Amino acid sequence: MKSNINPNLRVFFLIVISILSPSVVAIGCDMFQGNWIVDESYPLYNVSTCPFLEKEFNCVNNGRPDLMYLKFRWQPHGCSLSRFDGPNFLEKLRGKTIMFVGDSLSRNQWLSMLCMIHSSIPSATYAVNISIIQDTTTYTFSDYGLKVAYHHNLYLVDIVKQRIGRVLKLDSLTAGKLWLDADYLVFNTWHWWNRRGASQPFDYIQDGSHIYKDMDRVVAFGKAVVTWGRWVDANLSVNKTKVFFQGISPSHYNGSDWGEPKARSCSGQKIPLLSTTYPGASPPALAVLKNSLQTIKRPVTLLDITNLSLLRVDGHPSAYGLAAVDCSHWCLAGVPDTWNVLLYNLMFQENDNL
């Protein structure tokens, strides 16, 4: 499916779509189906004033010359999302803890959340606690007693050093003790499951009593999510903790996937795709994740960000991050802000007054 639309014409169409997009709230709306529209009130924060933003995601400060990518808002079909309201968020979560658990994509979303809160109330005081041993960082907004934490955890399940080497254990999870006190948990894992060679942090994979030198990584990922789900069922109270799973954040390294075979990667992409659905295939891990989540008895909400993120071929750091070409992570401000707008709407969807 080849795209022959001139980029300037694509911007024109996006502006027209923005004008015609629905704004009526519909009961039962699927907030993950829709399209990207131009919104001149975006971005949700100024990167130059966010004290939390790290160099790897700060594309503006790293010299990205095009800024149109900052001006897009996700518009679900048939309804509208409540805009993120920082004071309301802080008030509703007074004395509570929200923790993001996962790899660098979780960090992407966590930093976005911190910037969104700070932009809403720049005067809010905060303190930071960093634990190198536990690999956690927590910002506490002192006036509200709200903790916004991040636990760096690549696979959720354990990697254990044994005589034979480092073993990724698909049916063992001990890090959960760090998550027990959180009121809202947002989990994520997938980004590292296909790592091989020197960057792979394990030597073997153990499934039950069997130890393998390697196995299908998508299958292994699904087994790990099932193990995580068993931990959730056994340890988290429905009345205390709301659990979310971030979903599968996509990469854009092959232009043929989105109809631009001459594009070798996300480099040079300045605006989203016009489509409401991605022309290429979804990451295979998405279907496995959805099937694995169905094995969990307690409520877990999937933050199904894959399709809307697939459309954002323009949203990656590309050459304006830390890597030579990074088409996996996301610029901030940018796409993870929308993940947090969706999370905000889902966290309080049972309440009428957001």
The sign of the CA dihedral 321, 322, 323, 328 is negative
* CA separation for the pair 183, 239 (Å, rounded): 10
> Which residues does 168 contact at the CB level (< 8 Å), separation at least 6?
155, 157, 158, 159, 202, 204, 205, 206, 220
Phi first, then psi, for residue 304 (nearest 5°) are: -80, 75
Alpha helices (H) in the chain, listed in sequence order:
7-20, 86-92, 104-120, 217-235, 284-293, 306-310, 335-347
Check whether the bond before 51 is cis (ω within 30° of 0). Answer: no
Of 103, 158, 326, 337, which residue is the catalytic one?
Answer: 326
3-state helix, strand, coil in the chain (%, to 5): 30, 20, 50
Q: Is 199 a catalytic residue?
A: no
Of 191, 252, 316, 329, which residue is the catalytic one?
Answer: 329
In this structure, the strands spanning 165-169 and 158-162 are antiparallel
Q: Is 326 a catalytic residue?
A: yes
> Which residues does 14 contact at the CB level (< 8 Å), separation at least 6?
36, 37, 38, 72, 271, 272, 274
Of 39, 77, 82, 104, which residue is the catalytic one?
Answer: 104
Alpha helices (H) in 152-244, listed in sequence order:
217-235
Check whether the bond before 333 is cis (ω within 30° of 0). Answer: yes
In this structure, the strands spanning 210-212 and 204-207 are antiparallel
DSSP-assigned beta bridge partners for residue 196: none
Q: Is 112 a catalytic residue?
A: no
Q: Which residues are catalytic?
A: 104, 326, 329
